[in-house]
A and B are shown apart, each in its own frame.
Chain A
Amino acid sequence: MAMPVPEWGMGMRIVIIGCGRIGAHVARQLAAAGHTVSVVDQDAVSLRRLGDDFPGCTMVGTGFDEAVLQKAGVADAEAVVVLTNVDATNFMVARAVVELFGVRRVTVRVNDPEFSAVFAELGLKTVDLPDLILQRVDELLASDG
């Protein structure tokens, strides 16, 4: 299922770094919505989460390796979503995507809420999962049940 270079098709060109349960879910949904998706993970086994029918390109390698990002099509990507479960890795991947490839739409998953403010301070757009859950809980507590 691995193709060396993504053949960009319909929709937006999106590269996803990190194919855990979250990365795989996001990748599948974006592909189903008609976008052209390419996924990078350092573990070939993780990429199996995408399923045999995944229409996008997959790439085994380190997410901040320039050659890997190049092959994954980051140079032509309109957006990159960084979704590994290690904050330091996500930070370095985001730096690579921004500095080496000049991608402007980059979103980074935050695993430890402490990094939310730090990453924002360093100029990264973040998705803070623990905080999103907290917001939901707050809404729940404020509702009538």
Chain B
Amino acid sequence: MYVLIVGGGKVGMHVGRTVLEQGHEATVIEQRLARAEVLREALGDVVVLGNGTLPSVLESAGCGRADVVAAVTGDDAVNLLVAVLANRHFKAVRSIVRLNDPRNERLFRLSGVGGTVSSSAILAELIEREVAAQRVRTLLSFPSGGVAIVQVDLSSKSSVAGARVRDVPWPRGTLLVSVLRGEEVLVPEGALTVRAGDRLLLLAPPAVEEQLQTLLAPGAD
């Protein structure tokens, strides 16, 4: 395979090294002279000095025969133009495009550029998954910061499962607001028995979140 990489920053250098280590052919186009020298020392004679958006530079770097064109500069405008040129002008087989600002994704798509890779979008997704894995979720924080509305799904491992609301040792400052059981919304009277699987909505100070987790959703489910 022949991989043409536009942009020899940290990302481009890493991609180039990986491709070469896997026994493929690679070329890195880099505009900055000093950076091109660094790349040449690190990767060998696979560096083309020039502006990778220029068709003549892409041409001389073998864009026409590339299996993959990776546009990985820190400038989305450059990456977009490279991808469009690779697709339409050079009919490259595949392009991979680094998206620096996820807000530009729609414009890339409308320009017929797929295969975008956005590190910030990946990070956001990881964080979202991490947050979802947490058992006590803050639904709403008030600006004063003293109290928040949190949601906990009552675990079968919790000692509270099967207990009456009035018997639960709620952490200080906590108020049970509502219990959601399937489609039902239950009023949290003292006599109500909570069950595993109930979704509890509580008013609670941020400081007791860990206590709530230990009490209502201990261990990993």
Contacts and interface: CB of A to CB of B under 8 A. Distances in A.
B55 interface: yes
Contacts, number: 52
Given A114-B54, A114-B56, A118-B55, A88 B85 contact: no
B77 A100 contact: no
B116 to A, nearest CB: 14
Given A66-B103, A100-B107, A118-B89, A95 B55 contact: no
Interface string B89-107: 1000000000000011011
Nearest to A114: B54
A112 B78 CA distance: 14
A17 B76 CA distance: 17
Nearest to A118: B55
A92 B53 CA distance: 12
A115 B51 CA distance: 12
B147 to A, nearest CB: 34
Interface residues of B, number: 21
Nearest to A100: B107
B84 interface: yes
Contact of B77 (A92, A114, A115): A92
A65 B76 CA distance: 11
A41 interface: no
Nearest to B53: A88
A88 B56 contact: no
Interface in A106-124: 112, 114-115, 118, 121-122
B89 A64 contact: no
A114 B110 contact: no
Contacts of A100: 106-107, 110
B111 interface: yes
Chain A contact residues, majority secondary structure: helix
Interface in A11-43: none
A138 interface: no
B99 to A, nearest CB: 12
B56 to A, nearest CB: 6
Interface in A81-119: 86-89, 91-93, 95-96, 99-100, 112, 114-115, 118
Given A88-B78, A91-B80, A118-B89, A99 B107 contact: yes
A89 B56 CA distance: 19
A99 B110 contact: yes
Nearest to B113: A95
A87 B85 CA distance: 13
A66 B107 CA distance: 9
Contact of A99 (B75, B78, B88, B111): B111
Interface in B131-175: none
Contacts of A91: 77, 80-81, 84
13 contacts: A64-B104, A88-B77, A88-B78, A88-B80, A91-B81, A91-B84, A92-B81, A95-B80, A100-B107, A114-B54, A118-B85, A118-B89, A121-B88
Given A88-B75, A112-B54, 14 more contacts: A66-B103, A87-B53, A87-B81, A91-B84, A92-B76, A92-B107, A96-B107, A99-B107, A100-B107, A100-B110, A114-B54, A114-B55, A118-B55, A121-B89
